[in-house]
Structure 1
Amino acid sequence: MARQVKELGFDSGSMEATEDFLSSAYTPMRVGGKAESTRTRVVRHAAGGLVVDRLSLDYTMAYDAGCLNRVCLVTMAEGTLVDTTGGAEEVFGPGDTFLLAPHDRPYSGEVCSARYTITMFDPALLGQVSTADGPVALTGARAVSADANRLLGSAVAHVRDHVLTDPDVDAHPMLVANAARYLASATLRALPHSAPDREAGDGRDATSRTVRAAVAYIEENADRDITLADIAACVPVSPRAVQYAFARHLDSTPLAYLRRVRLALAHADLKAAEPGTATVTSVAMRWGFAHPGRFAAAYRSAYGRAPSSTLRA
């Protein structure tokens, strides 16, 4: 009998139950098994539009599925996945992190005795984190290099292991939003896409006035979930022009500046906290810092001491 636990887990040896669950969790699909044992296990963690599923299949499962309407990344730990979309076969194995299918197209293939992670997010995030002035499409499934594949796999692992598994993640929407954009940025760095190169942009609006307006907006709205597109719209110029302006006048990026402002606000919270009323982790998460070690390193670099020392003081 199938077993579902608060919509977070699935464990069944029934192909009918597996098809129903996968159709509900992803997109309508038909599946079939090629073994006497057809056990499928899924554990899901999700928040704020980010979804990470850990899947384990001890058999070969074929699938024919509809459009996902989300960017869907697969990270293989064991076994293989054979993509047959369009008639051609492409095989992915352990260590590969790749795009399962374009978000707006049906797909097909088979998974062979595999243990893997599926990570999904809104495709609109790709446009928000790029310097393009419109939507961005992913144009290839494989990473552009071995280093790019490792980068994307690390981004998935960060979201999977340090963000979505936190029991209090729903209380920190800014942290989840930052993690989603981080994952979208890593996806654009790793996979082929339609966004133009930065060098192709027009730098006419990359002025000191653009920087002043953007800095003022960032400092007034650092407690909100703001994006590069939001920062550009406040000027108003293109996202690419804001990137150029910060590089030219501040030797930085708008989002790096936003992180520095939030680090300063976290510093102020740590200084003001009453003993026993806050922790370093809770303050870091409030300002969108998901990884305690990275927050501590950035804090020490900026303030010359550990955040825990500031809190104790």
Structure 2
Amino acid sequence: MDTGIFESEDLGATEEFLGRRYAKMRLQTDDDDQTLLRHERQRAGTVSIDELHFTYSVGYAVNPLERVCICRMHSGVLEQDVIGEPSDAFTAGDVTLLAPPELPYTGRLSHAHYDLTMFDPALLNRVASTGPSRRTQPVRLVGHRPVSAAAGRQLGALIGYLRDHVLPSPEARTSELVAATAAQHLAASVLAALPNTATTEPTPVDRRDSNEPLLRRAIAFIDENAHRDIALSDIAEAIYVTPRAVQYMFRRHLDTTPMQYLRTARLHRAHSELLAGDVATTTVSAVALRWGFAHTGRFAVTYRQTFGCSPHQTLRS
């Protein structure tokens, strides 16, 4: 397991530990008398969130991470240099892409407290509107600062929610759909917040491929696979259209998104399970987790809005 807490005042041990956690790196500091690092990792599926606190100033040079890595600053200063980009500095409240997954980077931390959220870059392709269908190049992030302050706040809030409410829960961490849903939501939020190469506007071909027969096929695929980890790209591949076309057909005919339709389908599966459940052996929280709902309270609110009663009332009926 790569979760847990690490603390060290030894720079060499810190360098070796961080090299195992991230990528090979070099650390250098002049603060020989105060070199404490505290590192804590939480993980759910393919997503990890690390909290790091350096009590000193340290320079670093790091090999490519090969992961999307989002940094959220709490205090101190992070100065960053990435090949091909101007130097930048980040302080409390800033949210940034630490570095493109394929590039090395250097920089300096000054008494910094921050968290790092990481996931596989391939996940961007699964959730992007362009997706892998009819596209040869993977989606790339092309800027490290959010497109707006509001976008940065929204991404930071999501990371905070995952860190505080999803990853600490053993039940949520072991639910395949909760972990997959969290990862997809995170990747989609990163694409919404940071400059990237995904194209969201439908082309004439996408509009042609958004007819009702194809919509029915997309709905059938979702309904048949609601219990599985499926993403926008999976739906598109199943009906041989682009992910943009899938987005457009759901918006045009149903005024919703494919992923919202998937969430609703899972809600109805949870409803059916509660109707058939036994109060002696079935719990609302277990059913919610099984269908990808990490927060039982939010599940209950959505459930009541949809079915007019609480999930507990359904289970007892």
Q: TM-score category by the smaller chain?
A: over 0.9
When the two chains are superposed, the root-mean-square deviation of aligned CA atoms in Å is 1.6
What residue is the counterpart of 2:5 in the other structure?
Answer: 9
Give 1:181's aligned residue: 184
Hey, what does 1:22 align to over in structure 2?
18
Pair 1:223 & 2:227 matched:
yes
C-alpha distance in 1 between matches for 2:214 and 2:267: 23
SS in 2 for 1:142: coil
Which aligned pairs between 1:204-215 and structure 2 lie closer than 5 A? 204-215=208-219
Judge conservation of contact 2:171–2:289 (CA < 8 Å) in 1: no
Q: Which residue of 1 aligns with 2:95?
A: 97
How far does residue 264 in structure 1 lie from its aligned partner after superposition? 0.5
Q: Match for 2:68 among 71, 74, 77?
A: 71
Q: Which residue of 2 aligns with 1:120?
A: 118
Separation (CA, whole Å) in 1 of partners of 2:3 and 2:228: 30
Indicate whether 1:294 and 2:291 are aligned.
no
What is the CA deviation profile of residues 268-291 of structure 1, one whole-angstrom value per residue up to 9, with x for unaligned ones? 112222113232221111101112
Aligned equivalent of 1:43, options 40, 44, 69? 40
C-alpha contact 2:233 2:243 (8 A) present in aligned 1: yes
Structure 2 distance, partners of 1:261, 1:311, is 19
1:240 corresponds to 2:244 = yes
Which shows bigger deviation, 89-98 or 178-187?
89-98
Give distance in 2, aligned partners of 1:81 and 1:139.
Answer: 20
Q: Percent identical across equivalent pairs?
A: 44
Other-structure match for 2:198: 195
**Residue 59 of structure 1 aligns to which amino acid in structure 2?**
Y
Between 251-260 and 16-25, the greater mean CA deviation after superposition = 251-260
SS for the counterpart of 1:117 is strand
Q: Count the aligned residue pairs.
A: 309
Instruction: Determine which of 257, 270, 276 is the counterpart of 1:253.
Output: 257
Q: Which whole-Å deviations, capped at 9, do the CAs of 1:59-117 have from their partners, x for residues lacking one?
A: 11211000001000011111111102248421111111110000000011111111111
Which of 104, 107, 118 does residue 106 from structure 1 map onto? 104
More deviation, 199-208/247-256: 199-208
Separation in 1, partners of 2:251, 2:145: 30
| Alignment TM-score, normalising by the size of structure 2 | 0.93
Aligned equivalent of 2:135 = none
* Contact 2:4/2:42 (<8 A) preserved: yes
Alpha-carbon distance in 1 for matches of 2:67, 2:280? 42
Deviation of 1:168 after TM superposition, in Å, equals 2.4
Deviates more, 1:158-167 or 1:69-78: 158-167
Alpha-carbon shift at residue 164 of structure 1 (Å): 1.3
Aligned equivalents of 2:200 and 2:3: distance in 1?
41
Conserved? CA contact 2:43–2:173, under 8 Å:
no
In the alignment, the residues of structure 2 paired with residue 7 and residue 287 of structure 1 have an alpha-carbon distance, to the nearest angstrom, of 25
Structure 2 gaps, min length 5: 133-137
Matched, 1:151 2:147: no
CA shift for structure 1 position 199? 4.4
Provide TM-score, normalisation by structure 1.
Answer: 0.95
Counterpart in the other structure of 1:142 = 145
- The one-letter code matched in structure 1 to 2:12 is E
- Cα deviation per residue 1:141-185 (whole Å; 9 max; x = unaligned)? 011111001110011112211221111234311110110000001
Q: CA deviation at 1:34?
A: 3.1
